[in-house]
Amino acid sequence: MTRTAEIAVFAGLRGPARTFTYAVPDGMDAAPGHLVRIGFGARSTAGVVTALDVPYEGALRPIDALVHPLPLLRAHQLAVASWMAREYRCGLADAVRAMLPPALAARARSALPPARGERREALFALLPAGRDALAAGAGLGVRQLVTLRALAAGALTGADLAAARGSAVAARALARRGLVAESSRAVRRVPVEFRLGEEDAVRHAAPTSGQRDALAAIVGRLASGGAFLLHGITASGKTEVYLRAASEALALGLGVVVLVPEIALTAQVVARFVARFGDRVALLHSALSAGERFDEWRRVLDGVADVVVGSRSALFAPLARPGLVVVDEEQEPSYKQGSTPRYHAVDTAIALGRLAGAVVVLGSATPRVTTYHAATTGALRLLRLRERVNELPLPPTTIVDLRVELHAGNRGTLSRALRVALEATVAKGEQAILYLNRRGFATVVLCRDCGHVVPCPSCEIPFAYHLEGVLVCHRCGRRDDPPDRCPACGGARIRHLGVGTQRVEDEARAAVPGASLIRMDRDAVRRKGAHAALYERMRTGRAQVIVGTQMVAKGFDLPGVSLVGVVNADTILNLPDFTSAERTFQLLTQVLGRSGRGSAGGRGILQTYLPDHYAIRAAAAHDYEAFAAAELLGRRRFAYPPFGRLVLLQTQAKRAETVDRRAEAYAAALRAAAGADAQVLGPAPAFAAKRAGSFRVQLVLRGSRPERLLDRVPPSAEWTVDVDPVTLLG
């Protein structure tokens, strides 16, 4: 009887229905997870076997070939892929494809040509004939015998061979006799920023009592699986908990995945894993060339590396037995993939844990309130680290009301209080960080007298100001003209305003002319390694003041910094998004945590037009619980996550009428089919209402199970579907 295989086909079609049944030719040892070559229509393409022996009647095309002799996806990965397909309403083929190195999935080749600029080295492996020759031993020189013997233990490079007293020359001679195979691989280099300067001394330090309890809980579940939120303020020792839990997992023969939000900005965390686990670490991130990525992935598949550190997609590394999955800084929006499959790495990590029996640890000082809510209601176990390791207090923080500054005639970006604090810090030989919230691409209309932000009258969320001079509500689509006078106080100084790093830099230079000052924003760190170089200037004390955006809030561990000044604490707060307050609280907490890490102590200053907002107040008071309580109250009121689920649907077209008509029609169909589990909001213009010459429109579904509505009224291929979006401002 012909065997059959279900295959997720990579090329050819869009949409979810992309698995097809093929016949397995006699003698082909196909298994789930195999990457195969198949005919599809008139073309030859690649796919992955997802199941065998599916019932099928009729004629079937046979699989042409196995691309690789071994399955490239493991059983638990296939299970995660089908979970993703269901959860995010994407194709199984999309999910499966996201799990393979891009170059491999695209070309379906087992070996890759070297990427440009990549150094490669020879790799030698024993062939079966070589094993026989080793037994017979006849006609081989001493060096050749030693070389053969060394290769019997596994594939080696020329350098490895030399260390084992063999040689590449001898190996090549053996290759000519058909006893050894020669191939090449990229020279693996761990970039400098991932190497630690100092000794890894903490390795032997006694754990704090908080760390001990957290570790006991995590390690206790390594055999069975479980999901945890490790909630601890910055420098409370979370990373050390990850490292020690990882050691325990490895000791049990289990693999470890550590996700970091943006690898270049979390170099120190990565470096600590490299320092502790050496060559067992595989680094997987987007800055790698296709060849490097393939090689790192291959090291995991071969079992050479069993600690995978990387961004989002490192979750899909082919570990044989994943036992521990850590997601550091679980609140970061970069864990959400912005293109199909639009998965959230945190939720996918939890699914992986469940499907593979692994422990999942989400770490954060400022977890998303959805995660925190899950931890307080029992879906996750909550572990807390309440104090900084060295018992350093969190910096006392002052809120400066910018409206008062304006009344006093100060039109600069630095308040009097911040200027004075900056001067004093520099005079004492200490360091300061001046932080700017990066602004969104649109903005709000704000009264510079009373701080009032003009809201949509029906939705109470701020109107977004668009460059063509119109106010748009991104929830209901309402449009309005910007007012001439503030609706709250009647003042005339109402407008949208923004501050750039450049301007802050100039004013700070004028305030402390003697200090060495540097600026760190996206422009300044575009060059590779620039981030590390600027950081180094602060670390060694060559610079005293750094002005920057989000980048200075992450991974900066500088004992010399005793002042953090936030120039515009409320810019993100004003964005009309359901996560605006949360992002504001997270970013402020993160950047304030950079102050007072050394003996000099520290303080913080938050400049804002909204001094009474709960996100600002809670950040200044270092009070996560107060923030979460207030935020969850608002989320409940509008049925936002975790009290409701969101689906963001977007579509675009060159002509406004086309896209409007399409959106109206689909919205009407959805509304007609909607039950109690979903509410349809919009259509409204997308936040980026026009992109690359196309008009963009969105619909939002909200409810207990809004994704089910899509099963009843499926979107056409012109729509993108984002289940559980992290922002509605895409």
Q: Binding Zn ion by CB under 5 A: which of 44, 184, 209, 458? A: 458
Q: Residue 269 or residue 436: which is nearer to ligand ADP going by CB? A: 269
DSSP three-state, residue 46: strand
Name the binder of 4 from ligand ADP, Zn ion, none, CB < 5-8 A by kind: none
* Min separation Cβ 242 and ligand ADP, Å: 8
238 or 298: CB nearest ligand ADP: 238
Judged by CB under 6 A, which of 159, 205, 408, 672 binds ligand ADP?
A: 205
232 binds, among Zn ion, ligand ADP, none (CB under 5 to 8 A by kind): ligand ADP
DSSP E strands in 452-560: the ranges are: 464-466, 470-472, 479-480, 494-495, 517-520, 545-548
Q: Which helix (H) or strand (E) holds 103?
A: helix 102-107
CA pseudo-torsion sign 601, 607, 612, 614: negative
Name residues whose C-beta falls within 8 Å of residue 467's C-beta, 6 or more positions apart in sequence: 442
With contact defined as beta carbons under 8 Å apart, do 395 and 358 qualify?
no
Query: At 276, which amino acid appears?
Result: R
The three-class DSSP label of residue 184 is: strand
For residue 280, the minimal CB distance to ligand ADP (Å) is 20
CA distance 331 to 348: 14
Buried b (16+ CB within 10 A) or exposed e, 486-501: beeeeeeebebeebeb
* Binding-site partner at residue 355 among ligand ADP, Zn ion, none, CB < 5 to 8 Å by type: none
Which of the choices Zn ion, ligand ADP, none does residue 478 contact, using the CB cut-off of 5 to 8 A by kind? Zn ion
Nearer to ligand ADP, 259 or 728 (CB): 259
Give the count of residues interacting with ligand ADP (CB under 6 A). Answer: 14
State the nearest-atom distance from the C-beta of 465 to Zn ion, in Å: 14
Which of 13, 79, 106, 202 forms a contact with ligand ADP (CB under 6 A)?
Answer: 202
Shortest Cβ 682–Zn ion spacing (Å): 10
Contact partner at residue 459 from ligand ADP, Zn ion, none, CB < 5 to 8 Å by partner kind: Zn ion
Minimum distance, C-beta of residue 233 to ligand ADP, in the bound complex (Å) = 7
Site map (CB under 6 A) of ligand ADP, residues 209-238, x = contact: --x--------------------x-xxxxx
Q: Residue 697 binds which one of ligand ADP, Zn ion, none, with CB within 5 to 8 A depending on kind? A: none
Q: Which does 608 bind (CB under 5 to 8 A by kind): Zn ion, ligand ADP, none?
A: none
Are the beta carbons of 705 and 649 closer than 8 angstroms? no
* Residue with smaller CB distance to Zn ion, 349 or 648: 648
Q: How far is the CB of 221 from Zn ion (least distance, A)?
A: 46
Residue 207 C-beta: closest distance to ligand ADP, Å? 5
Nearest to 386 by CA among 503, 235, 280: 235
Q: What is the DSSP letter of 643?
A: S
CA angle at 285 for the pair 281 and 288, rounded to the nearest 5°: 100
Strand order of the β-sheet with 479-480 is 464-466, 470-472, 479-480
Cis bond leading into 455, ω under 30°? no
Block residue for tokens 């002005």: 547
235 or 572, CB closer to ligand ADP? 235
Q: Which residue in 44, 37, 36 sits closest to 12, CA to CA? A: 44
**CB of 349 vs ligand ADP, minimal distance in Å:** 18
Nearer to ligand ADP, 557 or 660 (CB): 557
Coil, strand, or helix at residue 518? strand
What does 238 bind: ligand ADP, Zn ion, none (CB cut-off 5 to 8 Å by kind)? ligand ADP
**Which of Zn ion, ligand ADP, none has residue 452 at its interface (CB below 5 to 8 Å by kind)?**
none
Q: According to the binding rule CB under 6 A, does residue 595 interact with ligand ADP?
A: no
- Least CB distance from residue 271 to ligand ADP, whole Å? 11
* Residue 543 C-beta: closest distance to ligand ADP, Å: 21
Q: Which is nearer to ligand ADP, 202 or 450 (CB)?
A: 202
Closest distance to ligand ADP from the beta carbon of 588 (Å): 17
CA atoms within 13 A of residue 632's CA, in its CB half-sphere = 17
Closest CB 239 distance from ligand ADP, rounded Å? 3
For 303, how many CA atoms within 13 A lie in the half-sphere containing its CB?
6
Nearer to Zn ion (CB atom), residue 459 or residue 667: 459
- The candidate with the shortest Cα–Cα distance to 720, out of 703, 58, 694, 704, is 694
Of 95, 550, 578, give the one whose Cα is nearest residue 339. 95
- Could you give the CA distance from residue 557 to residue 535 in angstroms, rounded to a whole number? 10
Residue 267 binding target from ligand ADP, Zn ion, none, CB below 5 to 8 Å by type: none
For 157, the token pair is 């490079």
Residue type for 191, please? P
Q: Say how far apart CA 583 and CA 329 lie, in whole Å.
A: 13
- Residue 584 interacts with which of Zn ion, ligand ADP, none, CB < 5 to 8 Å by class: none
Q: Which is nearer to ligand ADP, 67 or 394 (CB)?
A: 394
Interaction residues for ligand ADP, span 375-434 (CB under 6 A)? 389
Note whether 683 and 695 are within 8 A (CB): no
Which partner from the list Zn ion, ligand ADP, none does 191 bind, CB cut-off 5 to 8 Å by kind?
A: none
Taking the complex as a whole, the smallest distance from the CB of residue 620 to ligand ADP amounts, in Å, to 20
Q: How far is the CB of 300 from ligand ADP (least distance, A)?
A: 25
Residues in the chain, overall count: 730
DSSP string, 570-615: TTTTTSSSTTHHHHHHHHHHHHHTTSS-STT--EEEEEES-TT-HH
The entry of ligand ADP, Zn ion, none that residue 673 binds, CB within 5 to 8 Å by partner kind:
none
Q: Give min distance, CB of 254 to ligand ADP, in A.
A: 21
Q: Which stretch binds ligand ADP (CB under 6 A): 203-211, 278-286, 511-519, 566-574?
A: 203-211
Interaction partner, residue 493 (Zn ion, ligand ADP, none; CB < 5-8 Å by kind):
none
Task: Quote the least distance from Cβ 619 to ligand ADP, whole Å.
Answer: 17
| Interface of this chain with Zn ion, residues 459 to 488, rule: CB under 5 A | 459, 473, 475-476, 478
Q: Is the dihedral of CA 270, 274, 277, 281 positive or negative?
A: positive
Instruction: For residue 624, give both structure tokens.
Output: 């996560």
Task: Work out whether the CA dihedral 548, 550, 551, 556 comes out positive or negative.
Answer: positive
Fill in the per-residue mask, 234 to 263: x = in contact with ligand ADP (CB under 6 A), - = not in contact: xxxxxxx-----------------------
In DSSP notation, 195-235 reads S-SS--GGGGSPPPHHHHHHHHHHHHTTTT-EEEEEEE-TT
Residue 211 interacts with which of Zn ion, ligand ADP, none, CB < 5 to 8 Å by class: ligand ADP
Site residue total, Zn ion (CB under 5 A):
7
Q: What is the three-class DSSP state of 23?
A: strand
Residues in contact with ligand ADP by the rule CB under 6 A: 202, 205, 207-208, 211, 232, 234-240, 389
- Contacting residues toward Zn ion, per CB under 5 A: 456, 458-459, 473, 475-476, 478
